[in-house]
Amino acid sequence: MKLYLAPMDGVVDWVMRDLLTRIGGIDQCVTEFIRVVDVVYPDHVFYKRCPELKTGGKTASGTPVFVQILGGQAEPMALNALKAIELGAIGIDINFGCPAKTVNRNDGGATLLKSCDRINDIVKSVKKRMPDHIPLTVKIRLGYDTASKCIDIAKSIEDAGADLLTIHCRTKMDGYKPPAYWDWIPKIREHVKMDLVVNGDIWNLEDYKKCQDLTGESQFMVGRGAVADPFIFQKIKGAYFENSWMDTKKLLPTFFESSYQFHSENFAITRTKQWLKSLSLSYPEASSIFQNVKTITTGNEFIDKLQNLTNQ
Ligand SMILES: Cc1cc2nc3c(=O)[nH]c(=O)nc-3n(C[C@H](O)[C@H](O)[C@H](O)COP(=O)(O)O)c2cc1C
C-alpha cells in the first residue's frame, strides 16, 4: 500500500508537509500548484512552493515531494517542468483538476478535462522533454461537467506516457460535495494498466476500508482528512492506536512557530486558526482551543495561549 498527502493550495505548504511527514505513514507528497502561463519562472518561484528542492526533493523525514504545475500550454509547461528538475525536483505532477474559476478562465486545471486531445498533447510534450529517470504524474477529476469521459481521459493520459494517475473521484461541477464516486475506479481500471491513486473523501479508517474494498486499488491520496487528523496515515497502516488528540495537540505550538519562522507573524496566526478549524472536524477539543484564540491578533499572546491550552 502506498499513501499520498494531497496537494492543497493555501493549506499544505512546506511547514505542513514537514510536520505531517515526521509523524509517518505518508509515502509521497505533492506541492501546491505553480500556475504556468507563458514564461519560465525564476528560481525563487520554485523554491517558494518547494523548499524541499534544496534538500534533495525530500522532506526532513525523507518523504519525496513532487512539484506540481498547472496550465494549458504544452511548451511552457514542459520548460517549467525542466526548470524544476534542474533545481532538484525528483518528480513532476500536472494538475488537471483545479476547479477555481480564475484558474479555469485562464485555461488551467479542470477546464482541460473537456478535451482528451489537449490533455494528451500537454502530457506527451512534458514527458518527452523530461529525463527518463524522473517520473511524471498527473492529477485529474472524473471530468468537467460529467464523468462520462473519464475512461477516455485516463486512456489519453496513459497513452501520453505518464507514470501515474491520481483521480479525485468527482467532476469539476461536483466541487467538493459528497460523495466521492469511488465506483468509477474499477471501471477505469478495466481500460488502463498504469498506477492509479484513488482520491476523495477518505476522512478516517472506515472510509479507507470502504474505498479499498470498492476499488481494489493499493494507492490512495488523502487531503482534508489529513489536516483533520494528522495520524490518519498511521491509522490506515495499522501503526497507531493511541489517543491521537494527546499527540495532535502537541503539534500545534511547533506548527505556529515554524509558520512564523518560515513566513510571518500574521501568516502563523491565520494558518494556525485555519488548522484548528480543520482539526475540529475530528477533535472537539480543537474547537474549544479555536474559540479561545480566535480573536488574538499578536504572535506573543497567541503562542502563550496556545502553549497553555495544549499543555493541559
Ligand atoms: C483548500 C484546497 C486546496 C487544494 N489545492 C490543490 C492543489 O494545489 N493541487 C491539486 O492538485 N489539488 C488541490 N486540491 C484538491 C485536493 O488535492 C484533493 O484532490 C481534494 O481535496 C479531494 O481529496 P480529500 O477529500 O482527501 O480532501 C485542493 C483542495 C482543497 C480543499
**pLDDT tens for residues 270-294?**
999 999 999 999 999 999 999 999 9
Alpha carbon of 187 to ligand 1 centroid (Å): 23
- Please list every protein residue whose CB sits less than 6 Å from any atom of ligand 1: 6-11, 32-33, 68, 95, 97-98, 139, 168, 199-202, 222-225
Task: Round to whole Å and give the CA distance between 312 and 310.
Answer: 6
Q: Are residues 110 and 8 in the same domain?
A: yes
Give the rounded distance of the alpha carbon of 177 from its chain centre: 18
Q: Ligand 1 centre and the CA of 101: distance in Å?
A: 15
Q: Show the CA angle centred on residue 201, arms to residues 271 and 179, nearest 5°.
A: 125
Ligand 1 pocket test: pick from 3, 5, 9 the residue with the most ligand atoms within 8 Å of its Cβ: 9
Do 192 and 271 lie in a common domain? Answer: no
Using DSSP's 3-state secondary structure scheme, residue 47 falls into helix
Q: What is the predicted pLDDT for the residue at 241?
A: 82
Q: What integer pLDDT is reported at residue 240 of this predicted model? A: 86
Backbone angles phi, psi at 56, to 5 degrees: 75, 15
Mean confidence (pLDDT) of the chain: 97
pLDDT number for residue 200: 98
- pLDDT attached to residue 293: 98
- The CA-to-CA distance between both ends of the chain, in Å, stands at 37
What is the C-alpha separation between 286 and 312, in angstroms, rounded? 13
Residues 90 and 142 in one domain: yes
What pLDDT sits at residue 312? 82
Catalytic residue among 98, 116, 150, 211: 98
Same domain, 69 and 132: yes
**Which of 236, 263, 293 finishes a domain?**
236
Q: Are residues 89 and 126 in the same domain?
A: yes
CATH number assigned to the domain comprising residue 272: 1.20.225
What are the pLDDT digits (tens) for 243-274? 789 999 999 999 999 999 999 999 999 999 99
Point out the domain boundary residue: 182, 210, 236: 236
Pocket test for ligand 1, best of 168, 201, 274 (most atoms within 8 A of CB): 168
Report the CATH number that the domain containing residue 68 is assigned in CATH.
3.20.20.70
Mutation to probe ligand 1, out of 8, 11, 26, 219 (largest number of atoms < 8 A from CB): 8
Of 204, 220, 236, the residue that ends a domain is: 236
Whole-number Å distance, alpha carbon 20 to ligand 1 midpoint, is 16
Residues 134 and 179 in one domain: yes
Locate 199 and state its grid cell: 482520491
Tell me the CA–centroid distance for residue 51 and ligand 1, in Å: 20
Q: Are residues 115 and 143 in the same domain?
A: yes
Residues 183 and 285 in one domain: no
Task: Check: pTM over 0.95? Answer yes or no.
Answer: yes
Residue 299: which domain range?
244-310
Answer whether 104's CB lies under 8 Å from 110's CB. Answer: yes
Residue 297 shares a structural domain with residue 193: no
Q: In the numeric block, which cell numbers belong to residue 228?
A: 483533520
Please check whether residues 88 and 195 belong to one and the same domain: yes
Residue pair 227/6 in contact (Cβ under 8 Å)? The answer is: no
Indicate the number of domains in the chain: 2
The amino acid occupying position 127 is K
One domain, residues 114 and 90: yes
Catalytic annotation on 98?
yes
pLDDT in tens, 84-141: 999 999 999 999 999 999 999 999 999 999 999 999 999 999 999 999 999 999 999 9
Residues 226 and 279 in one domain: no
